[in-house]
Structures are given as structure tokens and as C-alpha cells.
Amino acid sequence: MKAVVNRESGHAELVSDQPLPALPEDHILVKVEAVALNPIDWMKIDNFHAPGAIQGADYSGIVQDIGPAVEKKFEKGDRVFGFVRGGDSRRLQNGAFAEYIVAKGDIQFRIPQGMSFEDAASIGSGSHSAGMALYRHLGLQKPYDVENGKGKFVLIYGGSTSSGMFGVQLAAISGYKVIATCSAANADFVKSLGARKTFDYKDPDCGRKVREHTQDSLTIVWDTVAQPSSAKICAEAMSSKGGRYCCNLPVEFPRSDVKSCFYDATTVIGEYFEYGRDKVPVPADPDAFQFGKKWTSIIDQLLVEGKLKPHAIEIGPRGLDGVLEGVNRLRNREVSGRKLVYRIADTPGLEESSKV
């Protein structure tokens, strides 16, 4: 089958002779219909040394087989979406950028009636990342909880990012007063998701303006950008009484009176992995996996009820053959406020022999 495979740090390529993945007992086998790109894709290609690993995280497709240990009730032919840990140096077959993939069954999602494969592909990692950050690490009340947010402020730094836009929607659904940073061009989009007010992160007074707007009461911040510049703005925005700050990449937070945390959303898979070029060991987290199983059911329900919007998407050309060009566009920061999605059927020269 065709797949986008890492060769060495800084280089990946499309190959045509990748073997079909073996099916672990707690996974599902999926014929991929569409894949979506994330900034972590280029970061892994450039910085994680995983030769031979299939790249990519977000996908949608059709279930072909179900491992005997999968508890979620899937059937062959079900339309599903979700995410996997692409670029995994220990499990080379795990990436999404391929004709067929295997995915941890109990944390994958069902595509609701009326939603396209392309839209569904944009949801997986962003919705899991938002769940892990806001509800597991920052302690927000979940959607459908009897006790909701009761009007507390929550700042989503990067409200138009692929994960931040889900954070805006989910925190608003949970009853919080959501404010967000984004570019001026994306302000209306982020407000349409549920943000009560947006702030331009390019404004040198951004942090001060957030603190003034919240009357020095902001104590909950999720930074989806996780750069020194974003951490600085978040520190300036937060209450003088402290609070909690969470980010999805390692970054030093400049305030000691704030409880800060870094998380990797793929811990929700519940398996040991090695992080980064230095292969820092990350133990399996069974509690994160149990959280993910429950969270998946919440997202399934919100989608069926029409309460959660997928990301705005842009369909890229040539399927898997065009993926690395899209990754390069993300690397060069040429994409904002939308998600690049590629249809597998658009890939030139797909082999009929790849079929299961």
C-alpha cells in the first residue's frame, strides 16, 4: 500500500510498498478515506528520529476489522474518525498517512449521519487534545455535568488553531465565559464558536488587555501555541492571585505562582512511547486511556446533537501524493484558521492489490 514514511530527521517520502499493518487485539483496522494535517506532523518529521515510521495523526475511514479486545461496539463497514500516534519510533505502522491503518479502538469516534469523511478527519486529535487539557489537567466541568462552569473565565490562547477551536466550543458548552487570542482576521470565526471576546495576539498590550477585561480574575488558561511569546502573554493575562496554565508543548512559564503543566495528547492512547529526538521515555498512562474512553462517548454525543462544529477545511490536491506539500505549508506557517485535508482516493496510481 501507499504511505508517507519517515526516512531520517527532516525527510519523509511517499512509498508504494508499505505492508498492510497487522491488527493488535485492541485496535481496529480502517480503510482510510481522508487525512488531515497538524503542525505536529512537520515537527515530528524534522525533530523526531523515527526512520521507517508512518507519519500522520488525523484520519477518517471505514472499519475493515475489529480486534477481539476492543470494547466499543464497532462493526465492519462503520464510518469512523480519530487519531493515532504517527512517527512512533516503537510502533512504525501506527501513522495515519496511509491507505490502511490500525487505531486503538476504544478511543476512536463514530462519524454522525450527514457528516462527510473530509469534515470528520479534521476532528480527532483536536477534540482529544482539548479534552485532555481542559477537563483532565485544568479540571473544567465536562459537558453534561450537573455543575457547569458557572461563568468562570477561561482563556484559550490560539482560538483558531486546530485544537483551540474545539477548546472554545467545549468550554462554552460547559458554561464558562470563553475568551481567546487569535489574529484579527480570525476574530469573527472564533466568536462564532462561542468566544465572548477575542484579543489580537500581535497587540503588544494583549496580556494587559485580557487582565483588564477579566478584572484580574482569570485563573484558567490553555495555551495551544506553547511558545515563549505565548507563555509571556498568558502570564501577563492571568490573575495576580495565580491560577492554572496548561500547554501542549514543553515551554517554560514565567510565573512561579501559577501551576503550569505540559501534556502530550497521545498519552490518551494508554501505551508507552518515547518523546522527541532524545527519545525521552513516557510511561503508559492507564488513567489517561480511561479518560479517553469516556471522553470519546461525550464527543460522539455532542456531534450527534449538532453541538460541536468540525474545523473549516481546505481540500488539498493529489491525496497522499500531496500530503508532504501540505506539511511544508504548515512548516512555513502559510495556513491559518482552516485544516488541510487530503482524500486518499485522489492519490495517483492507487493499487487495487492494496485492498483487504
Residues 120, 21, 291: CA angle, nearest 5 degrees = 50
Q: What pLDDT score was predicted for residue 352?
A: 53
From edge to edge, which strands make up the β-sheet containing 243-247?
A: 197-200, 177-182, 153-157, 220-223, 243-247, 258-262
Q: What pLDDT score was predicted for residue 279?
A: 80
**Exposed / middle / buried, residue 7 (Cβ in 10 Å: 0-12, 13-18, 19+):** middle
The helix/strand/coil state of 338 is coil
User: By the 8 A CB rule, do 84 and 108 touch?
Assistant: no
Nearest to 316 by CA among 29, 40, 97: 97
Spatial separation of the C-alpha atoms in residues 320 and 219, rounded to whole Å: 43
211 grid coordinates: 487582565
Q: What is the DSSP string of 230-241?
A: HHHHHHHHS-TT
User: By the 8 A CB rule, do 325 and 37 touch?
Assistant: no
Q: Phi-psi bin for 59: left (phi > 0), alpha (psi -120 to 50), beta?
A: beta
Count Cα neighbours of 176 within 13 Å in the Cβ-side half-sphere.
31
Spatial separation of the C-alpha atoms in residues 181 and 201, rounded to whole Å: 6
Question: 315 has which bridge partners?
Answer: 341
The helix/strand/coil state of 189 is helix
Q: What is the DSSP string of 250-301?
A: ----S-TTEEEEE--GGGGG---EEETTTTEEE---HHHHHHHHHHHHHHHH
| Residue-range domains of the chain with CATH | 3-123+271-354 (3.90.180.10), 128-263 (3.40.50.720)
Q: What pLDDT score was predicted for residue 351?
A: 67
User: By the 8 A CB rule, do 164 and 194 touch?
Assistant: no
Structure confidence by residue, pLDDT tens digits, 46-91: 988 789 999 999 999 999 999 999 999 999 999 999 999 999 988 9
Q: What pLDDT score was predicted for residue 172?
A: 96
Element (H, E) at 337: none
User: By the 8 A CB rule, do 68 and 319 touch?
Assistant: no
Calculate Rg over the CA atoms of the chain: 20
Task: Please name the residues in contact with 48: beta carbons below 8 A apart, sequence gap of 6 or more.
Answer: 6, 9, 87, 89, 276, 277
Q: What pLDDT score was predicted for residue 353?
A: 40
322 grid coordinates: 500531496
Spatial separation of the C-alpha atoms in residues 302 and 169, rounded to whole Å: 11
The owner of cell 476532528 is 123
pTM for this prediction: 0.93
Spatial separation of the C-alpha atoms in residues 59 and 56, rounded to whole Å: 8
Nearest to 81 by CA among 41, 112, 110: 110
Report, as ranges of residue numbers, the positions in the chain whose pLDDT lies below 70.
146, 148, 351-356
Question: 198 has which bridge partners?
Answer: 180
